Structure 1
């Protein structure tokens, strides 16, 4: 099965949360309500330094995906 790069997630236990699931490496879930990120990968020290610089980019991409999806619902 081919998965999209981003998936919009919802959970009634977290009514204010907006979850975006990133399915490609590095896999993660971000809650756009507070920009909290949960990584599914294990990282070594070198990876963590690179990841720190890339996290802002991942948040931006997830937010752009969410905005695009919401705009499509409004159309």
Structure 2
């Protein structure tokens, strides 16, 4: 099965939160409400500079994905 790179996630226990799941390495769940991230990978041994650069890029892409999905609902 081929998975999309990003998925929207919802949970009725957190009605004000907006979650985006990143399915490729490094896999994580980001709450766009407060940018809190839950990592599903052990990033021990990775370059801290590389991780922070990649994280910033992936956070931007997660936000762009969400905006794109919401625009499709509006149309």
Q: Which runs of 4+ in 1 moved over 4 A?
A: none
* Counterpart secondary structure, 1:16: coil
TM-score by length of 2: 0.92
Partner residue of 1:39? 39
How many residue pairs get aligned? The number is: 74
Which structure dedicates a bigger proportion of its chain to helix? 1
Gaps of 5+ in 2: none
Q: CA RMSD in A?
A: 1.0
Gaps of 5+ in 1: none
* Counterpart secondary structure, 1:29: strand
Between the aligned partners of 2:47 and 2:14, the Cα distance in structure 1 is: 29
TM-score by length of 1: 0.92
